[in-house]
Structure 1
Amino acid sequence: MLKKSLILILFGIFLASCGVSKEVRDQRNMLSGTWILNDVRYENNQGMFKSVLFNDADAICFEGSNWFFRDNNSTGRYTIQQGSLCQGGDRYIRWSVVSNPANYTNQLQFKFIDEKRNDVSGGLGYRLNIARLTESEMTLKSNVTVDAKPVTLVYEFTKQ
């Protein structure tokens, strides 16, 4: 009897440790909704940069893009406006918030899916550090290397 009770207690502790933290749940809830990506800028390095974000479009195309996150099924999309430099349209994603114990921050991760929610990226995706998240503003950051020097891409959003 004591052995069975001990096993049940250990199993309960194991299950509780597998759950997401309250902070991650809160951030998922705050992310839910529609966001506008107002600005993409670069930190930690000087110079002019031209970058293709998420293997999709030039950074300039993302400014003013509309991002939608649905937290009840972890799907969403971002929409780029059509322009002379930009292939407009919807890009569908599956997203989540994950803890990153290496730098004590949480990250937004996403991968591309099709309209039927099937993976179209072979399981590959993207992670952005959540630098700031409130009910109305969000700052995401990603670290890249340009000519062997670190550059941080900063994404500034406001909630609609």
Structure 2
Amino acid sequence: MVKRSLLFVAIASILLVSCSVSKSARSQRDIFSGTWNLDNVYYENNSGNFKSVIFNDAEDICFEDSEWFFRDNNSTGRYTIKQSSLCQGGDRFFRWSVVEPTANYSSQLQFKFIDENRKDISGGYGYRLNIVSLTEQAMTLKSNVSVDGQPVTVVYEFSRK
């Protein structure tokens, strides 16, 4: 019985350590937690005027002044787009996490869409945004996309509400 208990404790410890989030990622998650305003969406690394549909949801203009909420205790959140003649307003729900940096990229915010009952509605597909800067009051995220075979970086600037 003692051997079985020790084996159980050892396996549980290994699983706990392997599933834990690093100190850096946990710190970033803590900072993300709360309500943010998406102040500005713009493009880098290419010239010209761009108009795009972001996250396969709405035009870029619809995201400006949208409200984003991140709950770190259950990794869920939502963003709210204001209703207008150009934009289908309302809440969009997502599950999110912070991905550890590697040699190829910095830390990233990743998310996928869920419904109000926290069920996946994106078929397992999601989005990753590079975390360029993150403080208690402001954050900048970037995503690299391709337009006509040319690289373009979409920049998202947020401020804490």
For residue 125 of structure 1, what is the amino acid of its counterpart?
Answer: G
> How far, CA to CA, are the matches of 1:116 and 1:18 in structure 2?
24
Q: Once the 2 structures are TM-superposed, how far is the Cα of residue 63 of structure 1 from its aligned partner?
A: 0.0
> How far, CA to CA, are the matches of 2:103 and 2:19 in structure 1?
18
Relative to the length of structure 1, the TM-score reads 0.89
Alpha-carbon displacement from aligned partner over 1:8-33 (angstroms, at most 9, x marks no partner): 99x96786455321110000000000
Give the aligned partner of residue 49 of structure 1.
Answer: 50
Give the aligned partner of residue 109 of structure 2.
Answer: 108
Segments of structure 1 that go 5 or more residues without pairing to the other structure are 1-7
> How far, CA to CA, are the matches of 1:156 and 1:124 in structure 2?
24
> How far, CA to CA, are the matches of 2:36 and 2:89 in structure 1?
17
Consecutive aligned runs of 4 or more in structure 1 exceeding 4 Å deviation = 11-15
Give the aligned partner of residue 76 of structure 1.
Answer: 77
Range moving further from structure 2, 14-23 or 136-145: 14-23
Q: Once the 2 structures are TM-superposed, how far is the Cα of residue 56 of structure 1 from its aligned partner?
A: 0.2
For residue 38 of structure 2, what is the amino acid of its counterpart?
Answer: L
> How far, CA to CA, are the matches of 2:14 and 2:115 in structure 1?
37
SS of the residue aligned with 1:25? Answer: helix
How many residues are matched?
154
Give the aligned partner of residue 3 of structure 2.
Answer: none
Q: Once the 2 structures are TM-superposed, how far is the Cα of residue 49 of structure 1 from its aligned partner?
A: 0.5
Q: Cα–Cα, structure 1 residues 14 and 141, in superposed 2: closer, same or farther, change >3 Å? A: same
Segments of structure 2 that go 5 or more residues without pairing to the other structure are 1-8
Relative to the length of structure 2, the TM-score reads 0.89
Q: Cα–Cα, structure 1 residues 123 and 150, in superposed 2: closer, same or farther, change >3 Å? A: same
> Is the CA contact 2:132–2:142 (under 8 Å) kept in the aligned structure 1?
yes
Q: Cα–Cα, structure 1 residues 14 and 88, in superposed 2: closer, same or farther, change >3 Å? A: closer
SS of the residue aligned with 1:24? Answer: helix
> How far, CA to CA, are the matches of 1:119 and 1:100 in structure 2?
25
> Is the CA contact 2:105–2:130 (under 8 Å) kept in the aligned structure 1?
no
Identity of counterpart residues, as a percentage?
A: 68
> How far, CA to CA, are the matches of 1:90 and 1:15 in structure 2?
34
* 1:29-48 correspondence runs (5 A): 29-48=30-49
Q: Once the 2 structures are TM-superposed, how far is the Cα of residue 96 of structure 1 from its aligned partner?
A: 0.6
SS of the residue aligned with 2:107? Answer: strand
For residue 127 of structure 2, what is the amino acid of its counterpart?
Answer: Y
> Is the CA contact 2:80–2:90 (under 8 Å) kept in the aligned structure 1?
yes
> How far, CA to CA, are the matches of 2:132 and 2:144 in structure 1?
12
Query: What is the RMSD computed on CA atoms of the aligned residues?
Result: 2.0
